């Protein structure tokens, strides 16, 4: 039999949770006191909800995620105004526009269903970044977490509004490299949309890999060189391959404390590999085949596998650069002739 779930006074639950935070979660009394002092010292107060005309609301898609149409359908199908909790919006002081930063889907559903007003709590603020970090705090938990693209877009908005937090500066530097090379940084879902796809022919969809490129070199130079090399050597492939990207990144990373490789080495490596495999996604696919051959049943480790595979293939094709690797135990078998059946084209 399942344990009975009790009805309890919230004040009792609050006291119990506070005690558990101290006992089991490492929260000290000093931290609690500091959080309470900060909260009570704020001049801000809880926003009060009012019925707001939908025609007066705006959505800033530099901050908001894109509409999830199936979510709209589900809300309309099960519509009940009693559980339509108030939306959250803000008005920047001195400006008339009200920006909705939470309840986009509820509000759109209400509008389609014929409602002209929606309950909404409007915050008055002089901080232009408030909608961005409020949206992030409200949405970066739960079933539909913010994805890396949402977080990146929010960071760019904060930079534009004057923030120079290190995370924000890195995001701007990262975006600058993509803009300069002429590659769109966007997820595959946005890329497939005629309304959302970027203007460039080429795109890259792995935000976390892009962030690695900035973390290893905050100037953006390494990220720029990786993107440029892949685009120049494989110009007809419009999606920048994630595997080849992380392979070049890892070769740079594990060599960063050794003697630097010469200028243009990334392009030289890819040109050497292209003698065997003419497309970057084929390099990625063949690396997985060889990985399974030499490491049967092992979990794919992209940085190690791709960098070592690319190094050994480059050497097989006569490459002379002294590329780094992860040690004898990480080799991919090409040097030793332990090659998967059908790995290479028959004519070779």
Quick count: other Cβ atoms within 10 Å of Cβ 33?
Answer: 10
What is the tens place of the pLDDT at every residue in 199-208?
Answer: 999 999 999 9
Residue 182 has pLDDT above 90, yes or no: yes
DSSP string, 277-339: -SSHHHHHHHHHHHHHHHSTTPPP-HHHHHHHHHHHHHHHTT--S----S-GGG--STTTT--
Q: What is the pLDDT of residue 30?
A: 92
Residue 179 has pLDDT above 90, yes or no: yes
Q: What is the pLDDT of residue 161?
A: 86
Instruction: Output DSSP code: residue 142.
Output: S
The closest alpha carbon to 291, from 283, 282, 301, belongs to 301
Give me the residues paired with residue 124 across strands: 91
What does DSSP say about strands 98-102 and 57-58: parallel, antiparallel, or unpaired? parallel
Quote the mean pLDDT of the chain: 88
Residue 133 has pLDDT above 80, yes or no: no
Residue 89 main-chain phi, psi, to 5 deg: -145, 170
Strands (E), the chain: 49-53, 57-58, 87-92, 98-102, 117-125, 183-185, 202-204
Residue 131 has pLDDT above 80, yes or no: no
Helix (H) or strand (E) holding 326: none
Cα–Cα distance measured from residue 168 to residue 155, given in angstroms and rounded to the nearest whole number: 5
Instruction: Output DSSP code: residue 56.
Output: G
Cα–Cα distance measured from residue 191 to residue 184, given in angstroms and rounded to the nearest whole number: 9
């Amino acid at each position: 039999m399942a344990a009975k779930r009790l009805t309890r006074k919230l004040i009792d639950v609050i006291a119990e949770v506070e005690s558990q935070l101290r006992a089991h979660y490492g929260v000290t009394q000093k931290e609690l006191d500091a959080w309470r002092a900060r909260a009570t010292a704020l001049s801000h107060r809880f926003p009060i909800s009012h019925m707001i005309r939908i025609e007066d609301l705006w959505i800033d898609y530099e901050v908001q995620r894109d509409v999830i149409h199936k979510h709209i359908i589900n809300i309309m199908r099960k519509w009940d105004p009693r559980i339509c909790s108030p939306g959250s919006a803000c008005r920047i002081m001195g400006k008339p526009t009200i920006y909705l930063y939470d309840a986009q889907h509820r509000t759109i559903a209400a509008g389609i269903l014929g409602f002209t007003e929606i309950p909404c709590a409007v915050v008055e603020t002089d901080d232009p970044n408030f909608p961005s970090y409020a949206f992030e705090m409200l949405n970066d938990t739960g079933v539909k977490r913010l994805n890396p693209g949402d977080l990146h877009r929010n960071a760019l908005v904060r930079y534009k509004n004057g923030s120079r937090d290190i995370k924000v500066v890195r995001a701007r530097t990262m975006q600058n490299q993509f803009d300069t090379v002429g590659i769109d940084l966007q997820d595959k879902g946005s890329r497939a949309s005629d309304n959302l796809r970027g203007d460039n022919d080429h795109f890259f969809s792995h935000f976390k890999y892009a962030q690695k490129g900035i973390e290893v070199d905050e100037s953006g130079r390494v990220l720029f060189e990786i993107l440029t090399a892949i685009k120049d050597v494989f110009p007809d492939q419009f999606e920048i391959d994630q595997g080849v990207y992380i392979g070049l990144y890892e070769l740079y990373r594990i060599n960063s404390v050794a003697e630097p490789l010469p200028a243009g080495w990334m392009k030289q490596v890819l040109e050497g590999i292209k003698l065997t495999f003419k497309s970057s996604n084929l390099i990625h696919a063949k690396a997985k085949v060889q990985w399974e051959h030499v490491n049967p049943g092992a979990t794919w480790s992209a940085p190690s596998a791709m960098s070592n595979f690319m190094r050994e293939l480059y050497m097989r094709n006569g490459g002379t650069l002294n590329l780094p690797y992860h040690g004898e135990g990480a080799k991919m078998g090409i040097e030793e002739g332990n090659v998967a059946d059908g790995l290479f084209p028959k004519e070779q």
